[in-house]
Amino acid sequence: MAKFIPNFLKPTLKKFVFPIPKKLSKNFIFINNQKKKILKDNLIENYYVGWRNPENYKIENFNSDLNVHLFQRLENDRREIIPWLDSCKFLNGQKILEIGCGTGSSSIALSEQNAEVTGLDIDEGSIKVAQKRAEIYGLNINFKKLNSENLGDFYEKGSFDQIIFFASLEHMTLNERLNSLKSAWNLLNKDGFLTIIETPNRLWYFDGHTSMMPFFNWLPDDLAFYYSKFSKRDNFNNIYNDIRDKDLFLDFQRRGRGFSYHEIDLAICDSQEINVISSLSSYQGLRYDLRVTPEDRAFKNILAKFNKNIDRAFYDKFLYLVIKK
């Protein structure tokens, strides 16, 4: 529980930590230690390579990241994300395209609720881990290594009930983001959902995703590239030193540069007219509010004052929102 919550409010917070609905929790699949070992070995072999090589981390940071991919991300998705999405529309039977499936934790959380899941990612190592994870959990999930800006070449219009950008929009270049959003919108069926999850808000004063520095996402890409050396984050502050290296600069852009409603304006329609039917903050209410600092609540209110016609979901620190077509 966050340290900034006063003691007298903690009982109130507990009151609002709702249990996972039984209709969802009864579908959870648990694996034994032997299968966890297989998954761990697969992660180290296929995911922790290149710039993710364990040698580039402090040992405590590597172990923390490994545990996130082994079980913490799945547990969080089951506890926080799945009940929220199911409250918007029952996941059972939905045809879902997940863009940015990573190593497959979120795909498992969706699929075990009887959704028909297709998971995409541009990272081949991540896809290999995701495929092994689905095999270990005994779930039929279609994974594909694919850049999502080319969706229209692989799927027909109206193919999906929901398309989820799961912690992925911030890892795209601007053109990729715009093309992916356009393509996804076209692939949704009537009344389908375009969902954005765990995406850092470019408008926010502190980058809590990539650099762990204030105002970082407000900087243009080239300035942010050079300024990254001041970050306290290892495996980030010592990498980006030659902007003439096009592959290195592309890698920097894809580490996470934030997202805001401006891309919605350009790719889909005027964000003042977009139909945001839910956000994680509105769904959780007081439970969510008590987890953020008073400064964060004040900053969100300041942002909202500048453009009251935009849904307040676009002013959260991280964007979790569901848009109905």
| pLDDT tens figures, 250-309 | 999 999 999 999 999 999 999 999 999 999 999 998 788 778 899 999 999 999 999 999
pLDDT given for residue 57 in this prediction: 83
DSSP state, 202?
A: T
Using DSSP, state whether 201 is helix, strand or coil.
strand
Q: How far is CA 137 from the centre of its chain?
A: 22
Residue located via tokens 């093309």: 179
Supply the Cα-derived Rg of the chain in whole angstroms: 20
DSSP character string of 227-288: HGGG-S-TTTTTT---TT-HHHHHHHHTT---B-HHHHHHHTS-TTT-EEEEEHHHHHTHHH
Contacts of residue 77, Cβ cutoff 8 Å, sequence gap at least 6: 105, 106, 109
Single out the residue of 115, 155, 111, 150 nearest to residue 130, CA to CA: 111
Amino acid of residue 167: A
pLDDT given for residue 107 in this prediction: 98
* Domain residue extents for the chain: 210-255
pLDDT given for residue 3 in this prediction: 43
| Distances 36 to 30, 32, 39, 137, 247 between C-alpha atoms, Å | 10, 6, 5, 10, 34
Return d(Cα 194, Cα 46) in angstroms, integer. 30
pTM of the entire structure? 0.90
Where residue 141 falls (left for φ over 0; alpha for ψ -120 to 50; beta otherwise) is beta
pLDDT given for residue 149 in this prediction: 87
H-only helix segments in the chain:
10-15, 22-25, 33-46, 59-67, 73-76, 82-88, 105-111, 124-137, 174-187, 221-227, 246-253, 261-267, 280-284, 286-289, 294-306
Amino acid of residue 68: V
Provide the residue-wise pLDDT of the chain in tens; the chain has 325 residues. Answer: 344 455 544 555 555 556 899 999 999 999 999 999 999 999 999 999 988 888 888 888 888 989 999 999 999 999 999 999 999 999 999 999 999 999 999 999 999 999 999 999 999 999 999 999 999 999 999 999 998 988 988 999 999 999 999 999 999 999 999 999 999 999 999 999 999 999 999 999 999 999 999 999 999 999 999 999 999 998 899 999 999 999 999 999 999 999 999 999 999 999 999 999 999 999 998 788 778 899 999 999 999 999 999 999 999 999 999 999 9
Sheet holding 142-145, edge to edge: 142-145, 116-121, 95-99, 160-166, 188-200, 318-324, 275-279
